[in-house]
């Protein structure tokens, strides 16, 4: 980036410049009226990944000077230094229209200043003898910072969702286990077989010769009370033969 030097005339004689400053954090576009012997300075903090574009157009009045410089050189510009360093590619003297040939991107991070000068401060610059109206447009492009707040919020949201889903999954599994345990308990109750005590020494039925096989016992047909029995009706089942629900 080319660097130029301003040879200051009045400041070397002890006369301090006066002017106004404005710190920019976003693009700027405004019409200005700069009095004779005055200047406007725009201070911008830039990194090597940021950039700036400047357009200056004089409406009424004579030529003006435009300088782009580092903040440290701007302090010299305001003081009594006889030589002031600036970026020559992004500066111009005695102009009525000026636009950067390309976007200004600093080599290092820091504060940089655009000075719109309407004072007889230099030997080579504009005379600054009359008030000047001009339009100034500064287009700033900043690198978007990494969205840490969004990332942290997203992680927190995912964590909450995982906890909620895990809780409902655990509740569902717990309910399923309880339901299965209840079902097993009911099946076990239904499968219980009540013992029937049959006396093998009981006398044979009348008309049945001794030693003959005893008749097969059968349960009576099912009745309405069988609905209360947990067993399946089987006329040869010991449970149905000696059913306590009859």
Of the ranges 1-5, 6-10, 43-47, 190-194, which is most confident?
43-47
* pLDDT digits 0-9 by tens, 86-119: 999 999 999 999 999 999 999 999 999 999 999 9
Domains of the chain (ranges plus CATH)?
A: 3-141 (2.60.120.380)
Contact 40, 115 (CB under 8 A): yes
Mean residue pLDDT across the chain: 83
* pLDDT digits 0-9 by tens, 119-171: 987 778 888 889 999 999 999 999 877 677 888 888 998 999 999 998 989 88
158 vs 197, higher pLDDT: 158
Alpha-carbon distance of 230 to 81, in angstroms, equals: 110
Q: Report the candidate in 116, 108, 91 with the shortest Cα–Cα distance to residue 39.
A: 116
pLDDT at 194 over 70: no
């Amino acid at each position: 980036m080319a660097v130029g030097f301003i040879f200051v005339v009045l400041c070397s004689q002890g006369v301090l410049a006066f002017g106004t400053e404005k710190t920019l954090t976003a693009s700027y576009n405004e019409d200005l009226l700069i009095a004779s012997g005055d200047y406007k300075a725009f201070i911008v903090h830039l990194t090597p990944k940021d950039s700036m574009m400047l357009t200056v157009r004089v409406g009424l009045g004579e030529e003006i000077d435009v300088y782009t410089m580092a903040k440290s050189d701007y302090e010299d510009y305001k003081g009594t230094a006889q030589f002031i360093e600036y970026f020559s590619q992004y500066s111009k003297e005695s102009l009525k229209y000026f636009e950067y040939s390309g976007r200004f991107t600093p080599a290092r991070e820091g504060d940089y200043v655009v000075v719109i000068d309407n004072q007889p401060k230099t030997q080579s610059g504009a005379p600054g003898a009359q008030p000047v109206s001009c339009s100034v447009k500064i287009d700033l492009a900043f690198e978007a910072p990494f969205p840490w707040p969004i990332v942290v919020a997203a992680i927190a949201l995912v964590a909450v969702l995982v906890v909620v889903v895990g809780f409902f999954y655990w509740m569902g599994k717990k309910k399923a286990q309880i339901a299965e345990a209840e079902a097993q308990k009911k099946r076990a109750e239904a499968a219980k077989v009540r013992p029937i005590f049959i006396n093998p020494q009981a006398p044979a039925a009348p008309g049945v010769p001794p030693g003959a096989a005893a008749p097969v016992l059968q349960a009576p047909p099912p009745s309405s009370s069988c609905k209360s029995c947990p067993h399946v009706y089987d006329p040869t089942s010991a449970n149905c033969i000696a059913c306590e629900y009859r």
